[in-house]
Amino acid sequence: MEDEKKKKEEHGFLYELFSMLFYLILILFVFFLLIHYVGQRTQVDGSSMNPTLSNGDNLIIEKISYRFHAPKRFDIIVFPYLHQKKTYYVKRIIGLPGETVFIDEEGTIYINGEILEEHYGLENIENPGRASDEILLGKDEYFVLGDNRNNSSDSRDSLIGNIKRKDIVGKVFCRIWPFSKMKRIT
């Protein structure tokens, strides 16, 4: 009788142990899926997106919407810097696939020969970089700029250049830190 009771207790203990292990693996798997396919947190390092985003801001990036539609003009995206591992840039999309981008000597941005009406850059662009010559974007390429136009490494720099769609990690969804500035980013 006691042996039977011990076996039931051992069986119950093993059942509980395997149940906890199963749920732990399930939680880790769901967490992995969320991080890799739904969203993730990132932190802004630098002032290239001032005044929209500031150094130290913590952001949530959503990764789902671009599976259903193409990135849009003025979306703020995150992409890897291809010349340094584990370094990501946060910039605003200005030029879309198939368009031409040109920035004149006065800092005016032209898309397909038309002046771009936008209110994100607060200053005239002093250095158009490679956009001083018309840039034709490929079928999967985007031209990005930081909102702090004169303090930003972006598509004007040949080290960054045009951003390929496959390299876009996701779209900035909201700022979660600092709490006083917490809001959805559009």
74: left (phi over 0), alpha (psi -120 to 50) or beta: left
Which tokens in the block code for residue 165? 């769609």
Which tokens in the block code for residue 21? 């292990």
Tell me which residue of 56, 106, 91, 111 sits closest to 170, measured CA to CA.
91
Residue type, 27: I
Contact 125, 149 (CB under 8 A): yes
Element (H, E) at 136: strand 135-136
Contact 8, 15 (CB under 8 A): no
Task: Pick the catalytic residue from 91, 152, 155, 171.
Answer: 91
Q: Any idea of the CA torsion for 119, 105, 149, 40, to the nearest 10 degrees?
A: 80
Active site residue 48: yes
Active site residue 85: no
Instruction: Name the one residue in this structure whose structure tokens are 């967490």.
Output: 31
Tell me which residue of 141, 143, 139, 76 sits closest to 103, measured CA to CA.
143
Task: Pick the catalytic residue from 5, 8, 47, 48.
Answer: 48
Active site residues: 48, 91
